[in-house]
Structure 1
Amino acid sequence: MSQIDRLKSKLVEFRDKRDWKQFHNPKDISQAISIESAELLEHFLWVSQEASHEVVIKNKEEISDELADIFAYLLSFSDISGIDLEEALLRKLEKNNKKYPVEKSKGHATKYDKL
């Protein structure tokens, strides 16, 4: 069993003890991911790119909590949708490797269709 599967199992156990599965559907969980992501972004609102590193240092616990919330909802979404996150990430990396070959994209933030 992978570490992701172990974490997902702990999360499902937490959810099921509270009878929350009834609230877990693709629409609501995807919205929760977006909401928690916005809460992460809120830490950096009106802060310069340079100052953003300082924000992380000063608010590490709160930012860590936001990341944990996002991760928990990602695991929940993968559980209810039957999507294997490890497999999905590896497949996406393969696609991105083709879209962004090193020789064209190294040191550039240009979108693949403009390389």
Structure 2
Amino acid sequence: MTDRETTLAELKAAMARFVEERNWRQYHTPKNLAMSVAIEAAELMEHFQWDGDIDPGALDERQRREIGAEMADVLLYLCSLSTCLDIDLAAATADKLACNRRRFPVERVKGRAHRHQWKDGG
């Protein structure tokens, strides 16, 4: 399974099967799933907490595996939450990207990372 060959629908279906096989749907409430996304995101942040800016090329294979596992946890819980709430995650993502394109036009924000830089053009 790779990014190039796997659709979001396939990931959602695989996670739904995993949950169903274990009879965990009863625990997969919106609140529990949203909390799980936040918890796993915090676990992902721990990998970078005291390291400053990490050069992605400097990560060893163990670090890449551990970070990838935390990223996968976040994605899988998002898949479960979108299934639970019947939200089309790809459509929501496309909508959000369109909204962000309007909010942050290239000519106003290119190369600028901070909101105060966007307001006055300075």
TM over 0.5, yes or no? yes
Structure 1, gaps ≥5 residues long: none
Question: Within 2, Cα distance between the matches of 1:104 and 1:66?
Answer: 34
What residue in structure 1 maps to residue 3 of structure 2?
A: none
> Equivalent residue for 2:27?
23
Q: How much does 1:57 deviate?
A: 1.4
Q: Could you state the TM-score of these two structures normalised by the residue count of structure 1?
A: 0.89
Question: Residue in 2 aligned with 1:53?
Answer: 55
* Cα separation, partners in 2 of 1:54 and 1:91, compared to 1, 3 Å: closer
Point out the structure with the larger helix share: 1
Root-mean-square deviation (Å): 2.0
Cα 1:55–1:20 shift into 2, 3 Å: farther
* TM-score, length basis structure 2: 0.84
User: Which secondary structure state, in structure 1, belongs to the residue aligned with residue 55 of structure 2?
Assistant: helix
Q: How many aligned residue pairs are there?
A: 112
Partners of 2:39 and 2:114 in 1: CA distance: 28
Does residue 1:114 correspond to 2:116, yes or no? no
Q: Which sections of structure 2, spanning at least 5 residues, go unmatched?
A: 1-5
In the TM superposition, structure 1's runs of 4+ consecutive aligned residues that sit over 6 Å from their partners are: none
Moved more, 52-61 or 78-87: 52-61
